[in-house]
Amino acid sequence: MPIIVNLDVMMAKRKMSLNELSEKVDITLSNLSILKTGKAKAIRFSTLEALCKALDSQPSDILEYREE
């Protein structure tokens, strides 16, 4: 899939654990892990907004498009 999820990069930059982000965004650890590993088929705008707020970032910091 040409959409790359850079959630782990942003978490490392913010020195935030998966548990901490899960609590801030109010998403289960399993769903956050699915998103982080790029296995998610979709993401809600409300979830993306919450991630951006928690990580003090822009959507383009988290999601990236690369041609295969």
| Structure confidence by residue, pLDDT tens digits, 2-48 | 899 999 999 999 999 999 999 999 999 999 999 999 899 999 999 99
Whether 68 has a pLDDT exceeding 80, the answer reads no
Q: What is the mean pLDDT of residues 43-59?
A: 96
State the total domains in the chain.
1
Helix axes 45-55, 18-25, angle to 10 degrees: 120
Q: Is 32 buried (19+), middle (13-18) or exposed (0-12) by CB count in 10 A?
A: buried
In this structure, is residue 34 part of a structural domain?
yes
For position 19, which CATH number holds?
A: 1.10.260.40
Tens-place pLDDT, residues 11-20: 999 999 999 9
Whether pTM > 0.85 for this model: the answer is: yes
Residue 67: per-residue pLDDT: 86
Its domain, for residue 8, covers 3-57
Separation of alpha carbons 65 and 53, rounded Å: 21
